[in-house]
Homo-oligomer: A and B are copies of this chain.
Amino acid sequence: MAGRPREFDRDAALEAAMLLFWRKGFAGASMNDLCDAMGVRSPSLYAAFESKEALYLAAFQHYATTEGQAVWDKLADGATARAGVENLLLAAAGNLPKSRTAPAGCMVALSAVSDEWPASITREVRKVRLELLDSLCARLAAAVASGELPGATDVAALSRFYLSVFQGMAIQAKDGATQADLKGAAEAAMAAWPGDGG
């Protein structure tokens, strides 16, 4: 391919954009901020990512397939669905608070919770959040099929419940909750597992 070669690392720039969007949201991260954080001038940025909206969607996908995936993969970990859900919530407790390298909260849980966001982003974010609900439903339905959970279990309700715990933990992480704080909430949530005594 002819033409002057790109002077910046596209993946590194996307990672920087992800971190800024993660911290400040869509409207809060201006193109100026993004250019600074990515180390790229705006014409190069537009040539590589098309628009701010497209850049956000790319950064969001990047988040979902790296940071987000690492936590939600835990749902498949463990011999039982109960262990999977517990692993998920404990991983969330470990990852949601602010760290040296990552902002607090979760891009998937906390993006587009007001109507100020572009419609295409709201649509995509909602889709991914509903996929989280689906993955919980699938794991719990399998547990019903295997006999781990009673046949009368309301899988949809139980899935929504555990999703809400995860999402609420993300909000509390934004408010400064520590790993220990969230671990306590996660353990309390596991007491709701059908069949567990109190």
Q: A23-B114, A114-B110, A198-B194 are in contact. Are A166 and B168 (CB under 8 A)?
A: yes
When the two chains form their complex, are residues A198 and B193 in contact, meaning their CB atoms are under 8 A apart?
yes
Docked CA distance A29–B27 (Å): 12
When the two chains form their complex, are residues A24 and B197 in contact, meaning their CB atoms are under 8 A apart?
no
When the two chains form their complex, are residues A28 and B157 in contact, meaning their CB atoms are under 8 A apart?
no
Give the contacting residue for A24; candidates B23, B24, B116; CB below 8 A: B116
Docked CA distance A88–B188 (Å): 18
Q: Is A76 an interface residue, CB under 8 A from the partner?
A: no
Which segment, of A1-9, A46-54, A176-184, faces chain B? A176-184
Give the contacting residue for A161; candidates B116, B129, B176, B189; CB below 8 A: B189
Give the B-binding residues of A (Cβ under 8 A).
23-25, 27-29, 105, 109-110, 113-117, 126, 129-130, 154, 156-158, 160-161, 163-169, 171-172, 174-177, 181-182, 184-198
Docked CA distance A154–B185 (Å): 10
Nearest-Cβ distance from residue A98 to partner chain B, whole angstroms = 11
When the two chains form their complex, are residues A169 and B175 in contact, meaning their CB atoms are under 8 A apart?
no
Docked CA distance A166–B191 (Å): 17
**Best-buried of A114, A174, A181, A182 by chain B (most CB within 10 Å):** A114
Q: A116-B28, A163-B168 are in contact. Are A126 and B175 (CB under 8 A)?
A: yes
Give the contacting residue for A188; candidates B157, B181, B185; CB below 8 A: B157
**Best-buried of A113, A116, A192 by chain B (most CB within 10 Å):** A113
Docked CA distance A185–B172 (Å): 19
| Chain B hits for A109, CB < 8 A | 171
